[in-house]
Amino acid sequence: MRKLVFAGVLLASVICSCADNAIEEQVKVDGGVICGTVTENVAIYKGIPFAAPPVGELRWKAPQPVIPWEGVLEAKEFAPAAVQGGRGNYSEDCLYLNVWTPAKTTKDKLPVFVWIYGGGFAGGATSDPLFDGEVFAASGVVYASIPYRLGKLGFMAHPELSAENEHGVSGNYGILDLVAALQWIHNNIEKFGGDPAKVTIFGESAGGIAVSMLCASPLTKGLISGAISESGGSFGPARPTTYPGENMRLLKDAEQDGLGIMSDLGCSSLAELRALPAEKLVSRGLTPGGGWPIVDGYVIPDDQFKMYQAGNYNDIPVLIGYNSDEGGSFSGEKDPAKHIASVELRYGPYAKQLLEVYPVTETSVPKSARDLMRDAAFGWQTWAWARLQTETGKSPAYLYYFDQHPEYPEDSPRAGYGAFHGAEMEYVFHKLSADKQDSAEEKHLENQIFNYWINFAKYGNPNGEGLPQWDDFSVAKQTMLLKGTESRMIDVPSEKAMWVLDSYFQWRRTPEGAAWAK
């Protein structure tokens, strides 16, 4: 629990009771009173508990209501991040969010921008300096960053865990954490000058995938009004053996992983598992699985593609996209023969067609081949999302393709490489690296992207004065190219190849394709 400062008397003016309802250092929220840091331009509250610590008997349970505290809770420092591999300030007691607000009164009703970090559902922290919210608050929105449990502590399923759950499910605790944080924001954000009816979530990589899942989950109905997913999307079918873009597993398969993990750890009961030090659950050598959300029939009711086809999702404006060379960050094989073998292993009867439209050369695995990984994991996911929402929903989808990158010399080992995974982040957060600060082109793109994102948070539409027109997705006007001073609407890159990939995903949803993938 965060540090408490006990006060002899708590006045009714915790949030000032004077006529202007001014934002003050002390705010009454669910659970008690918090004390933040208030400057002339922004008020900052860090480490606010939004649920009970998920420890002991609450390990592998849905987040429970926050435990009330007495006195004043200091909310001036980040709480520890969720337990994960590597060194850092980590704790299983990790369900604390952060708020930056420029509001002057509790009646300001400012738009709310909620950040969800990435990290493969295995790492990440709201305390990362890149995710500081002051730059967003300075642009007129209330900014919040929310955490979630990671790895096997956040996503392990097990038959006994499902049996003790009122919905008969287990495994999606990290996503439930995000839902609980959004519910807290809905209940409390007015006290920070925010509008609970104007909440836009945004995230990158696993954070963007989580955004996609939250858009589909019935548990977020009424909690979100817009969404931005950077290199996210979760529209691939479930598969027992997972691959990027086909990351989801069914509950029954994930439960078997949980049994294997219990065996690996030498435990015979949930009580023994819950008594283990958290660090034991991030050690190497455990049965794979338990580190990714699953199709559980409750939090994530079904294959998200099918849910969107049926119109079963939160019909809200979305801004979604991916980077030009995501495959350069994830394609492991450099040898053409090994690359071909990996494609044949994953795609089976569709491998030949995919190798024709995503070709290798005799001596290398160039970008044309890497783009298969890019599109399977990110490009197709967001393109399918935009198409489905356009076909079945009423809210617009804005699709982007980020392609800002150095032009490497032909003799460079980086020749032919585009924008890597996560390359857009420094532009979104208005924190260009030092080597780009003096470039007029880089600053131009930074301001452009930042303003598109802020406009979307405020209005559900990225367009604004001085920005290239960004049309919502349609067959005729498909995607916004984000690059230097060239930003403009273009056709979806590699679209013909993506239609071949689309046919693979369609086949995977047939009885034949589902049986082949077992």
Residues in contact with 500: Cβ distance below 8 Å, sequence separation at least 6, in sequence order: 350, 353, 354, 357
φ, ψ for residue 188 (rounded to 5)?
A: -120, -15
Contact 482, 445 (CB under 8 A): yes
Q: Which residues pair with 250 in a beta bridge?
A: 295
Residue 77: alpha-carbon gap to chain centroid: 23
Annotated catalytic residue within 230, 326, 424, 442: 326
Tokens 């030498």, located at residue? 266
Query: Rounded to whole angstroms, how far apart are CA atoms 205 and 211?
Result: 10
Eight-class DSSP state of 516: H
Is there a catalytic annotation at residue 326?
Answer: yes
H helix intervals, 310-379: 327-330, 336-347, 351-357, 367-374
Which among 456, 452, 421, 209 is positioned nearest to 318, based on CA atoms? 456
CA distances from 179 to 82, 193, 357, 439 (A): 16, 21, 40, 40
Cα end-to-end distance, the chain, whole Å: 45
In one letter, which amino acid is 49? Answer: P
Query: Rounded to whole angstroms, how far apart are CA atoms 360 and 352?
Result: 12
Contact 456, 226 (CB under 8 A): yes
- If residue 175 lies in a helix (H) or strand (E), which one and from where to where? helix 173-188
Is there a catalytic annotation at residue 134?
Answer: no
Contact 369, 362 (CB under 8 A): no
Which among 383, 361, 102 is positioned nearest to 235, based on CA atoms? 383
Residues in contact with 102: Cβ distance below 8 Å, sequence separation at least 6, in sequence order: 41, 42, 110, 137, 138, 140, 141, 142, 193
Query: Rounded to whole angstroms, how far apart are CA atoms 33 and 15?
Result: 10
Q: Which residues pair with 295 in a beta bridge?
A: 250
Residues in contact with 411: Cβ distance below 8 Å, sequence separation at least 6, in sequence order: none
Annotated catalytic residue within 170, 205, 229, 331: 205
The DSSP code sequence of 116-160 is E--STTT---TT-GGG--HHHHTTT-EEEEE----HHHHH---HH
Which among 503, 504, 481 is positioned nearest to 492, based on CA atoms? 481
Annotated catalytic residue within 324, 421, 430, 442: 421
Is there a catalytic annotation at residue 339?
Answer: no
Q: Among all residues, which ones are annotated catalytic?
A: 205, 326, 421
